[in-house]
Every structure is written in C-alpha cells, then in structure tokens.
Chain A
Amino acid sequence: MAIHYLNIPLKDQDVESLNIGDLVYISGPFFTCRSLLQHYIFDDAHDLPFSTRKENCLIHVGPIVVKENDKWRLVSFMPTSSIRFEKWGARSVETWGLKMIVGKTTMGEKTTAMMVEKKCVHVSPQSVSPNLWIDHIKIKDVYLFDELGTIEAAWQMEADKLGPFIVDIDTKGKNLFDRLDITIAANKEKAYAMLNIPKDFEYTKLY
C-alpha cells in the first residue's frame, strides 16, 4: 500500500500512478458539489461560474460554514456519499475535466467508464474525521450561494495535505469495493453456517 502526496491541479501522470488501495493526501485548490449544484448545471442548463482547469479535484461534501465578522468559518467537513450523484457523474468528469473525485462510497459503471477515458480516480475516507480535516482546509470563495444555499453551493477551498483517502477507483477502472465484495460474499456463507441457517433455506412466498 503506497502513500502519495499530490498537488492540485493534478496531471494525468499523477493519477495514472495510483492503484486501488493506495492512500493519498491532497494539497491545492478544490471545489465542492452536491445534488442541487449538478441538477442546476446539468438538468437546468447553467454554466459553472468559474473554471475548473486549475482545480480539477471535486469533493462531494456539504460543509457546515458560518459567517463571523463578515468572514466565512469552516465548522465541519466530511465527504458525503458519491454513489447518489451517479446520474451526473460522467458529465461532471467530462465537462469539468476532473482528475479526482473525493467522496464516501464510490461511483457506478457509467462514471467509471468516463473516468477511464478521461483519466480520473475516485478516493474515499476510511474515517469520520471532520474535526481533524478542518485544520487542513481554507475557504477561498463561494459561488451560487444565493441560488443553492450554504451546503449545496459551490465552495472553492484550498487543501493542505488533506487525507488520507483510499483510492477505490483507479484510472484502469478497477474498484476496491468490487474486490472486497468477493471476500465478503464468501464470509457471508460462513456467517449463515455460524447461525445454523440451512444451505437450502428459502423464504415462504407470501405475495
């Protein structure tokens, strides 16, 4: 298991060197996104009001941010589940030129196919550590705040060795969780045996 310290903007060779199971820490500018932003951009045909060329890392997150003395203060930050954004995943990778998506869980087949084509990885947290991560993040700016509200707005932030996140989809399209599924499926059969559930058990069809 290799550990990588990466700088944003990410280059193709940065992400091509990553394999599933590797750990990454990221530094540099990134932006945030949740469903309402992708709905606003892709379903309602708006443009993202800034260029993502130099901040080609997207974190799926709805932060808690409060305004104190006219300044934003980041209160809490924990990546949220990426799989629920699958509807817009491929278009996000293509349109925004993403090289890395950070989020809990993983992405589905369509997004993975686009990630392979465009050379992008997905990484996910192995802990729930918002109170450690906020010390590694600075708020730079916010867009679409009035339209989408605090947690769904597009926040531009700066990371300083933010991590660790585990690579769960690499640029070859391999998925860490697909591999774990095989182990867990075998363990599931053993768990049934531990519980004396008969191998030929079938539920009664009630309807």
Chain B
Amino acid sequence: MTTSNQELSTQPAAAPASSGPAAGRHASSVNARRDGRLEKIAAGEFVPAEIHDSLRSEQAVLEIEKFNLWYGAKQALFDIQMIIPRGKVTALIGPSGCGKSTLLRCVNRMNDLIDSVRVAGQMRLNGDSIFASGVDVIELRKRMGMVFQKPNPFPMSIFENVVYPLRIDGERNRNVLEEVCERSLRGAALWNEVKDRLQESGLSLSGGQQQRLCIARAIASDPEVLLLDEPCSALDPLATGKIEDLIQELRGEYSILIVTHNMQQASRVSDYTAFMYLGHLVEYGDTPELFTNPRLKETEDYLTGRFG
C-alpha cells in the first residue's frame, strides 16, 4: 500500500466540523446565490463548502477533517470537511465521478485495497482516528457495516451470511448466533420472508432480498456507522422501495451514510444531504432545506436536473 499519512502532521488540529467561511453570511437566504463556484472547482480552485447551521447542533459519529485523496497523481477528494451526525441518515449526492463513493469507501478504509491510493487528512469514528498509522484496519472495519452497490451475499446459507461477522470473530455459541441472525433479519425486514429457509443458499433470494440480506449482515455486528454505497442501483423500483422503507426504519438506531445517485431517494430517506462536485463538498445541510431552499444556485441547478 502506498497510503500515506505523512501529511497528517502538517494538518492543523482539527476543529469540529463546522460551517465553512461563507456559512454565516447567507444564513437564511431564500434565493440561492450563484458565485460560479462550479467553474472555479473545475478550474482547480479550492472553494470552501456551504454548510448549513442545522448541523452544528448534531452530535458527530464520524468526523472528516481536511480529507484529501489521490489516485496516483490525480486528486479525487479535496479538503473534505464534514461531520456525519449520530443516529441520522446522511446522503451523499452528486454527479458521477464526484467522489462520493470514494469518500464513503475511505470511511472503512476499503480504498486501502487499491494500490495507487494516497490520502491526507483525518477521519475519526467516535473520536478514534481512522487513518493514524498503527490503526488495526480489521478492528476498525468491525465497527462499521457496509453495503455495496451490487448485492453480494456469500455463497453460503442465509443464516451463515447473516452471522458472518460473528463467525469471523470466533463466535461459536449457537444461541447467540441464532439470536443475532433473527434480530438482524428482523432489522433488515427480511425475517418473515426467510425464517423458514435459513439454511438455503443466500444466492437463492431475489435481488432485493439479497440486498436486504447484505444489510442484515452489515447490522449483525451492531456497527457504529452503516455505510451504504448506492444500495439500490442494481434493484428494481419495488425492491428499491423496500430498501428505502428499511432505511427509514433503521434511522435512529443506526447512523447511516448513504451514497446515492438518485436525488429523489436522497430526499425521501435522508435527514441530511451533502452535495459533492468533482471531489469537493459543495453544500451540506438538512435534507428538506437543501432540497427546497438550497443556499447555492449550483445545488439547485443540480437538484432540478439542469446538469449532472
């Protein structure tokens, strides 16, 4: 791995996620302001993000501080500075290639697997550094759950799929496993559909069920944060609806960070929405406000489908 943390020392001591420099001046603007920041970003300039005040009152489960990421020589994330609130659903939206999935995958360091990735900056999960050298990545990942774009149940039984995180922890107590399996499947709203065929292959389920199985697997280890990477992109509208209902149910119990390319979905399921563009965080605020009354014209343009 060429992941580098050497630039950490040069970063200033991280402040709690807060509004950018421009936040105060446009506190309650009804009409979105256009300042050509997308052009600036495209030109390579750094523009601080527009972060709504509503986030200040939130307790952070995850703090992202001055986070930069390079694929080889190409920078993919620029000084991302945000918090993910506890017990809420936070959506990352933005046009393709804006870095939302990259950011998500950085949270549990899945990008370590990619050879040319280099990062600078810091993330903290409940105060514990994620990128400090000497962090046990395996232990770190156990504290999070992740669901991927494509349902990826393992070729084993439904039961084994769900209890997989416990299995790898060496849990052998059948009672514990069964209890966790039921709780997770109920949590993923799949219990009633599969309770009679727990020993069947996870691959025998439909796509939507498979994805809910993956969610059950992700919540089996009681994660501190649940990372959903476009969980509905490979599903039909019906299955998508079920997953969205599920996310609604999981709200409060779990802190959820969801990447979606579907703005309606973001508006339906999330409490907070972050709009990203070309590796920059552009605007971040509570979902109803961002969708109905964005501070930036660019956000409005994107949300109304004028580009992206």
Q: Do A and B bind each other?
A: no
